[in-house]
Chains A and B, each alone.
Chain A
Amino acid sequence: MVIVKRKILSLWERLYLPEVLRGLSITFRKMFEPRVTRQYPEEGLPTDGVTRGQPRLVVKDDGNIACVSCGLCEAACPAYAITIDGQETDRFIEREPERFDIDMLRCILCGFCEEACPKDAIYMSNELELADYTREALAYDMEKLKRPASAMRERMDYVKKINDRW
């Protein structure tokens, strides 16, 4: 059993008002300092190359998807979130995905797909929000995953910098 002894207050403390004024002084001082809280939904989170958001597919500057549907991200995915079917194209790189699905509810944002990709085609974007009304809407298909390379540039440069260390 613990006996808590009541603190014996000094006369200054028992006067009450000085402590109230001290507290208010802090309040007023902070009012004029820069704010540290964020109005989240209206004001987004700051992101940079280190941000490991949801995986997205890179569309190259010539308009073609960079993915060749090699299936390495599918094999590397520990959550079995990725499903790919390939098809033939007439371009120099003969293979492209016919279907590229990522079930965002399965995705654990580990970044293994990005690491496995030999073609720099899938990157963890700076997109963090994930909300919808149905489960089906969160199983993203290729059209929902495509992003221009310019939008992913920051992450691509960061990953390159990290990889160049080895």
Chain B
Amino acid sequence: MSQSEAKDSGARDTAMVTITINGREVEADPSKPLIAACHAEGEEVPHYCYHPGLSPVGSCRICQVGVQQGQMPPRVMAACRTPVAEGMVVDTEAPKAHDARRECLEFLLKNHPLDCPICDKAGECTLQDYSFDEGQGEGRSVEPRRKLDKRKSLGDVIVLDQERCILCSRCVRFFEEVPETPQLCIGERGSHSVVETFMNRPLTGNYQGNLADICPVGALTLKEFRFQARVWNLHKVASTCAGCSRGCAVTTEVLRKHEVKRFRPRHEPAVNGYWMCDTGRFALEAPNREHRLCGGILRGGSGQAQPVDTRTALEVARDMLIVHGEALIVASPFLTVEEGRELLALGKTLGARPVFLSPEPNDLTDDLLHTGDPCPNRRGLSELGFDALPVEEVLETLPSYESALLVGERLIDMLGAKNLATLPTALRVVLLECHYVDSPSIDVAVGIPNHVEREGTWVNVDGHAGRIAIARPTPEGVWMATRTIDTLHELLTMSAPGADAPGSATPGAIPSTPGAEATLG
């Protein structure tokens, strides 16, 4: 990211030049190649080796366009290696450019296997797209295709299919330029060239997953996603990564409204550029975890967990929080700013101290993206007025309060189910979580959606606001987190503290008519 930032800042200093693209005069940035100007203008120039986040090399030659400069006759040039110059006249649809691109495509397809039915890239493959537009129906070559290793493992994350590779060298440049740990190279010569690691060592580092995104064909694929889904079946929603406080812009991709299949980076120059780390990319376990808490669960005098509907559970929670005056509100760092604001208003009504859980930083931090801080909305919640409290301190402080309101996903994970079970029984605990753990100390639990089912704002470590969006429907019986908090707040304001609220004489008592639809799914 530091590099792309440097490029961006350099771009602002240089003067813009005027060029003509397909008959339109446009302002272009001379620090960027011609292809960037064409793309900015909305003209489609095919490209395989060019990537806006990497240095151009011009190895695939598919981006050739017609260029006229000065008194010279128009000629065909590779747009990714041609700097923009004043008075340049560009024709991306010149017949000669089309011919040149078609010929390049034929050579690229010469050794490319017809694997589309089994290839994970099919549907988002630019070689496939451009072959569909301009390719020939049949190959003219009489020579057999290259036979190479079709499933060469490159470490724990990536599988290489050497036959599919078109040697664009994006992956090689990625390791050289982004994490700056060169690991791949193009070995052998001529038609024997293959992408390989130095000494066949497995790839290392936390940014290997990006290779599968930048590979223009299906040569580098993720082991995790291999044959898991066809890309056109994935429902894609622009969202924000929950992995750390960097809050990389991601696309959440969900199969059949049910399973989150992958996170992919989305271009966001202020935050993550084009990349994301593997920790965030493969954080699929938490959003896909089963046995969700749907509706509410009460634990009355009998000590048995009893499922009820959300509203009943919230009414019992209200009674508890009113009777047991001194309360601590513990928010999860996954709470959005909007939910934090609602919770803060609730805390004001209750007179409770709002804190958010701040787990220990992990050792995944690096210079590129990962901050090592597992709280995606630390800054947002801090600026709202929540105090950051480490896990141990929360567990130490909790017994000194009469009641506690724990709100947000993964609180059970972070606090530890065992630690929750050892809380004193005098402490009344109301838990708003995605999952439930059968613990005698939790008096009321209410299900809320997790971060792929909610919408809202997370503020990242630099103060950049990232939206999280609804990628799949919430489980049945689960209310939006803002609605849950809002309803609890409303119930609290309706019966002012100290007044004889209904049911306040028997806190924690289970009402005689629990909702029938609530289940622990």
Contacts and interface: CB of A to CB of B under 8 A. Distances in A.
A and B are interacting partners:
yes
Interface of A: 68-72, 74-75, 85-88, 93-95, 118-119
A71 B233 contact: yes
B150 A94 contact: yes
Interface of B: 116-118, 122, 150-151, 226-230, 232-233
B227 A94 contact: yes
A106 to B, nearest CB: 15
Q: Which 10 A-B pairs have the closest CB atoms?
A: A70-B117, A71-B230, A95-B118, A86-B227, A68-B118, A118-B117, A95-B227, A68-B117, A88-B227, A87-B227
A71 B123 CA distance: 11
B212 to A, nearest CB: 16
B469 to A, nearest CB: 25
A86 B233 CA distance: 13
Chain A CB within 10 A, most for which of B116, B117, B122 = B117
Contact of B230 (A70, A87, A93, A119): A70
Nearest to B226: A88
Contacts of B150: 94
Interface of B is mostly: loop
B489 to A, nearest CB: 43
A71 B229 CA distance: 9
Given A69-B227, A75-B232, 7 more contacts: A68-B117, A70-B122, A70-B230, A75-B233, A93-B118, A94-B151, A118-B117
A93 to B, nearest CB: 6
B277 to A, nearest CB: 25
Contacts of B229: 85-86
Contacts of B228: 86
Contacts, number: 36
Given A88-B227, A94-B151, A70 B232 contact: no
Contacts of A118: 116-117
Contacts of A95: 117-118, 227
B118 A70 contact: yes
A93 B119 CA distance: 10
Nearest to B255: A85
Contacts of B227: 69, 86-88, 94-95
A117 to B, nearest CB: 9
A74 B233 contact: yes
A65 to B, nearest CB: 13
A116 to B, nearest CB: 10
Contacts of A70: 116-118, 122, 230
Contacts of A94: 118, 150-151, 227
23 contacts: A68-B118, A69-B227, A70-B116, A70-B117, A70-B122, A71-B230, A71-B232, A71-B233, A72-B117, A75-B230, A75-B233, A85-B229, A86-B227, A86-B228, A87-B227, A93-B118, A94-B151, A94-B227, A95-B117, A95-B118, A95-B227, A118-B116, A119-B117
A74 to B, nearest CB: 7
B158 to A, nearest CB: 15
A71 to B, nearest CB: 4
Contacts of A69: 227
A26 to B, nearest CB: 61
**Chain A CB within 10 Å — which of B122, B226, B230 has the most?**
B230
A98 to B, nearest CB: 9
A88 B230 CA distance: 14
A93 B232 CA distance: 21
A86 B255 CA distance: 13
Contacts of A85: 229
Contacts of A74: 230, 233
A70 B331 CA distance: 45
Contacts of A71: 230, 232-233
A87 B226 CA distance: 8
Nearest to B161: A94
A69 B233 CA distance: 13
- The interface centre, meaning the residue of B116, B122, B151, B227 with most chain A CB atoms within 10 A of its CB, is B227
A74 B233 CA distance: 9
A93 B226 CA distance: 14
A85 B256 CA distance: 11
A93 B116 CA distance: 12
A57 B122 CA distance: 22
A60 to B, nearest CB: 15
Contacts of A86: 227-230
Nearest to A90: B151
A164 to B, nearest CB: 15
A86 B119 CA distance: 11
Contacts of B232: 71, 75
Contacts of A75: 230, 232-233
Nearest to B232: A75
Q: Which of A69, A70, A87 has the most CB of B within 10 A?
A: A70
A29 B518 CA distance: 75
A9 to B, nearest CB: 74
Nearest to B228: A86
Contacts of A119: 117
A93 B150 CA distance: 10
Contacts of B122: 70
A71 B118 CA distance: 9
A87 B151 CA distance: 15
Contacts of B233: 71, 74-75
Contacts of A88: 226-227
A2 B117 CA distance: 69
A118 B119 CA distance: 13
Contacts of A68: 117-118
Contacts of B117: 68, 70, 72, 95, 118-119
Contacts of B230: 70-71, 74-75, 86
A72 B122 CA distance: 11
A19 to B, nearest CB: 70
Nearest to A94: B118
Contacts of A93: 118
